[in-house]
Structure 1
Amino acid sequence: MIIAIVGATGTGKSDLSVSLARRWGERGLRCEVVNADAMQLYRGMTIGTAKLSIAQRQGVPHHLVDVLDVVDEASVARFQADARAAIDGIIERGAVPMLVGGSGLYLAAVLTDFRFPGTDPELRAHWEAELQRLGPADLHAVLADRDPAAAAAIGPHNGRRIVRALEVGDLTGEPFSAGLAARETPWRPYRQFSLELDRPRLVARLDERVRGMWRDGLLDEVRALLPLGLERGVTASRAIGYAQAIAQLRGELDESEAIAQTQALTRRYARRQVSWFRRDPSIEAMDAAADDLAAQVDRRVAAELVDTMGG
């Protein structure tokens, strides 16, 4: 069985996953983490993604962290294949796979029978040209008219995914959101736990996290990534915080503006995450501020895990 720890950014998913894995390890039940945060796939993008250090992982194996260069383009289809291969390997080793992150579509692609249609270069080129002509907000309006469910899931800022949804609609004759309905069919048995905070506490935590990114040296991290091609990276260069740090280094924003813009975008992203996870009936919500969350999860799944792992 797969254990998934999900939720909005800043709710403590990574810390919970390590605590839970160590708790089980003390009982002889090994656990390995599979990252499901799209930005933590990138090497060198550490401060801005709140990536756990090796020391913070406390000996718990982590997979799909630092596996892409900043010039690589992350894709849900590639992640699905890589994450499922990692999970299969974990199960073969007799350990429990724990999928951890807040990238909703990435999680759904792994946990459920999510299938990816092919691609058509001409259709893709057409919609990419439309993205350049109209911008992501107006192209999102086109998608909303054709496929409201997909538009709601993607949001108006992710131009690459808006293009993909429109391409799939033209290619298959079916709405892109039909793929989202596949979440009703599990790939393997799983339990999903979502960490939730009330809005005021979450906003305060996120705003402080962003300020901490600048204090901890995000600008230096970005400076080191620029010679490696960060600005050419289709996905990495647009990451929240990184795009603003690049703009600050270019002189397009001052530090206070870069921080404020990053805070606003992070809050907006968290709202979309919360909305995504609340639409999934398989998710078991938990108060991220509660005491000893690891013990709570343990109590809910312990017997089922023992049965799954053969005693």
Structure 2
Amino acid sequence: MGSGRTHPPEPGKGVVVSVVGPTAAGKSDLAVDLALSLRPAEIVNTDSMQLYRGMDIGTAKLPAGERRGVPHHLLDIWDVTEPADVARYQRLARGLVDGMLAAGTTPVLVGGSGLYVRAVLDELEFPGTDPAVRARLEGELAERGPAALHARLAECDPAAAQAILPGNGRRIVRALEVIELTGRPFTATLPRHESRYPAVQIGLEVPRPELDERIARRVDLMWRAGLVEEVRELARHGLAEGRTAPRALGYAQVLRFLAGECDEEAAREETVRATRRFARRQESWFRRDPRVHWLRYDDPGLLDRALELVAGAAEPGAGGIGGTAERSPMDA
């Protein structure tokens, strides 16, 4: 993917590199290529589902043998029964990034979970939570369904309701919880595009027809690699009882198949459709951030172009690339 002839920034320049974009775009491979070119460099995962132990095939977690000796961090740290906790992730990831920068190592973030990327890169603080309020709202969600709660959210915070899908019960509950605890609209807690570190964000761009085909091919490969068996094994360890992990793409569909709610082919086809929908949401999220530099995923000079962006961010006085301050709904 390029000759690597572009001179990378000297170690210790303090630039954080982030590779973003939709699923199946080739982010993991580019991240490893960059880390090898920028060494010393290490990779920090920003995919929320790759945080879970045992969720390997369905999350396209890069196997250890394909990491080419580059250290990878924040993979396999949570049990499938644990709920997602972006504030906890933020503390872990920033600790790693700060340590790498202090040691003259370039952190290379890679993943398509937009909120997790911003949790590392941006001046972003998360409002607290109240177990009693959360439990009450989740009880209402179970009893009345997400549509009723979404309608309530639309009354008190129309902008948040527009940003959150009507069927995303978990996000709706969180928005209502924040509103109740802070007395402010959920959108008032959303961050501006203000970087914490000198950083460059590289987005991989794939034309939609090609991306749809890549997703279908990836799902087919996952099935051949044993996704159903992976989910069956995780189910023995409480996957279905978790709050976050069982909603992951592929895992949710296979769990329905294992429960007898659909046949295997229907589960596979729905995984393709759901993944394509998710990829569109990912692209929409990252397109709203003016700091992302988009490169064609199949550009023969992809690595060289990416290294040029990193070198530009590392120049004295550059302070990173981008920095436009705009609102961005946290709907990923």
TM-score, normalised to structure 1's length?
Answer: 0.92
2:278 corresponds, among 269, 279, 283, to 269
Q: Does 1:160 align with 2:177?
A: no
Alignment of 1:211-222 (within 5 A): 211-222=220-231
Q: 1:151 to 1:207 in 2, by over 3 A?
A: farther
Alignment of 1:80-119 (within 5 A): 80-119=90-129
Offset, 1:152: 4.3
Q: Distance in 1 between matches of 2:85 and 2:292?
A: 24
Q: Does 1:73 align with 2:83?
A: yes
Alignment of 1:227-266 (within 5 A): 227-266=236-275
In structure 2, the residue matched to 1:187 is 196
Residue identity in the other structure for 2:82: D
2:188 corresponds, among 178, 193, 197, to 178
- Give deviations 1:125-179, integer Å, cap 9, x for gaps: 2321221123234433433443344344443343222211111012112222233
- On the 8 A contact 1:112/1:187 being kept in 2, the answer is yes
Q: Distance in 1 between matches of 2:279 and 2:243?
A: 22
Q: Distance in 1 between matches of 2:154 and 2:72?
A: 37
Q: Distance in 2 between matches of 1:165 and 1:306?
A: 40
Identity %: 53
Q: Does 1:5 align with 2:19?
A: yes
Q: Distance in 2 between matches of 1:268 and 1:142?
A: 25
Offset, 1:280: 0.9
Residue identity in the other structure for 2:181: L
- Give deviations 1:7-43, integer Å, cap 9, x for gaps: 1111111110001111223xxxx11111000000001
In structure 1, the residue matched to 2:28 is 14
Q: Does 1:292 align with 2:306?
A: no
Offset, 1:183: 3.3
In structure 1, the residue matched to 2:42 is 32
Offset, 1:123: 2.2
- On the 8 A contact 1:2/1:96 being kept in 2, the answer is yes
Q: 1:52 to 1:137 in 2, by over 3 A?
A: farther
- On the 8 A contact 1:33/1:63 being kept in 2, the answer is yes
- On the 8 A contact 2:200/2:309 being kept in 1, the answer is no
Q: Distance in 1 between matches of 2:141 and 2:247?
A: 15
- On the 8 A contact 1:40/1:49 being kept in 2, the answer is yes
Aligned residues: 303
TM-score, normalised to structure 2's length?
Answer: 0.86
In structure 1, the residue matched to 2:6 is none
Offset, 1:227: 1.7
Q: Distance in 2 between matches of 1:306 and 1:223?
A: 50
Tell me the C-alpha RMSD between the 2 structures. Answer: 1.7
Q: Does 1:129 align with 2:139?
A: yes
Q: 1:105 to 1:174 in 2, by over 3 A?
A: same
SS across alignment from 1:284: strand
Q: Which has the higher contact order (CA 8 A, sep 6+)?
A: 2
Q: Distance in 1 between matches of 2:155 and 2:258?
A: 38
SS across alignment from 2:192: helix
Q: Does 1:52 align with 2:62?
A: yes
Q: 1:150 to 1:109 in 2, by over 3 A?
A: farther
Offset, 1:186: 1.5
Which residues of structure 2 form unaligned runs of 5+?
Answer: 1-14, 318-332
- On the 8 A contact 1:150/1:177 being kept in 2, the answer is yes
Worse overlay, 140-149 or 196-205: 140-149
Q: 1:45 to 1:170 in 2, by over 3 A?
A: same
- Give deviations 1:274-305, integer Å, cap 9, x for gaps: 11111111111111222232211101222543
